[in-house]
Amino acid sequence: GAGVSQSPRYKVAKRGQDVALRCDPISGHVSLFWYQQALGQGPEFLTYFQNEAQLDKSGLPSDRFFAERPEGSVSTLKIQRTQQEDSAVYLCASSLGEGGWSNEKLFFGSGTQLSVL
Amino acid sequence: AQSVAQPEDQVNVAEGNPLTVKCTYSVSGNPYLFWYVQYPNRGLQFLLKYITGDNLVKGSYGFEAEFNKSQTSFHLKKPSALVSDSALYFCAVRDNLYNNNDMRFGAGTRLTVKP
C-alpha cells in the first residue's frame, strides 16, 4: 500500500477483555516498530521487529502485551486482560532497512486509539 | 540511555513571522536527531534529521534545524510561518549505538500560527 495502515482506528474494550491491533507496514519494509502514545505525551517505544524476528521487546509494559509478525509483513499487537491504564493511541511505524544501525526515518500509521472502560 | 526534552508545551506565532520550536537531548554516544510533525487524526510525518556533517539541516515544507553539540540542542526553525504549519511537533533522538532500536520522543510542542 501507499502507507502504513492500522486497524481498527478506534477500539473500545471493557476492562478484562483481550484486544488485537493490526498493522500493515509499507510493502518491503524490513523494520517494524510499535509505540504507545498516552494523551499529551510523545510516543513510547514498545517493541521492534526485523522481518519476522522480534529483536527488542524491552518497552512492553507487562506480560499482558504480546506482539507478532509471523511472515515478516503484517504485525499484530495483542493486549490481554486490558486495564484502564492501557488506554492510549498505539502507533505502528516501519522503515526500509534494518534497525540495528539504522538512521532512517520512520513511516507512521495513523494509530489505533484504545479506550478501556 | 537517551532522552529528549521539549521545554515548551505551546508556541504561538503570527503568520509570516519566524518560528522556533526548542529541543534538547541527552545521549551516551553520538545522536541521531529527528523532527516529526503530527496533524489531527494523522500519523507522525518525518520533517528532517541530523546524522552527521553540516549542523544546519534543511527539511520538508521550508523547515530547518540546527544541531548544537555544546548546548545539546536541535531547535526547529522556519523563517516565515504559515497557518497550515499549525500542528503538534515532536523531537526524537536515537543513540547511534548498534542494536539501539529505541527512538525516544519528546512530549511534543503544539504550534499555533495565527493569521
- Which residue in A8, A94, A110, A1 sits closest to A49, CA to CA? A94
Q: Are B76 and B47 in contact (CB under 8 A)?
A: yes
In the predicted structure, residue B95 carries a pLDDT above the cut 70: yes
pLDDT at A3: 93
Of residues B23 and B41, more confidently modeled: B23
Q: Which of B36, B43, B90 sits opposite A111 (nearest CB)?
A: B43
Phi and psi torsions of B83, nearest 5° = -55, -35
Q: Which residue has the higher pLDDT, B100 or A45?
A: A45
Interface A-B: count of C-beta contacts within 8 A:
64
Cα separation values, B87 from A48, A58, B39, Å: 27, 30, 5
Nearest chain B residue to A105 by CA distance is: B46
On whether any CB of chain A is under 8 Å from the CB of B89, the answer is: no
Mean predicted confidence (pLDDT) in A1-5: 83
pLDDT of B52 over the 90 cut: no
The residue type found at B52 is T
Looking at residue A100, its pLDDT comes to 54
Instruction: Say how many C-beta atoms besides its own lie within 10 A of residue A57's C-beta.
Output: 16
Question: What pLDDT score was predicted for residue A99?
Answer: 60
Dist. CA A3–CA A37, nearest whole Å: 20
Task: Examine the pLDDT at B27 and tell me if it is beyond 90.
Answer: no
**Pairing mode, strands A10-13 and A112-116:** parallel
Region A4-29: mean pLDDT is 96
How many C-beta atoms surround the C-beta of residue A115 within 10 A? 13
Q: Are A15 and A117 in contact (CB under 8 A)?
A: yes
pLDDT, chain B, mean: 92
Domain covering A5-116 in this structure, CATH number:
2.60.40.10
Minimal CA separation from B5 to chain A, in Å: 10
Select the more confidently predicted residue: B42 or A59: A59
Query: Could you name the CATH architecture of B3-114?
Result: Sandwich (2.60)
Q: What is the pLDDT of residue A63?
A: 95
Is pLDDT at A1 greater than 60 in this prediction?
A: no
Locate the domains of chain B by residue range. 3-114
Residue that the C-alpha cell 508545551 belongs to: B9
What is the pLDDT averaged over residues A29-47?
92
pLDDT tier at B102 (50, 70, 90 boundaries)? confident
> Percent of chain B beyond pLDDT 90?
76
Q: Do B101 and A55 touch (CB under 8 A)?
A: yes
On average, the pLDDT of chain A sits at 92
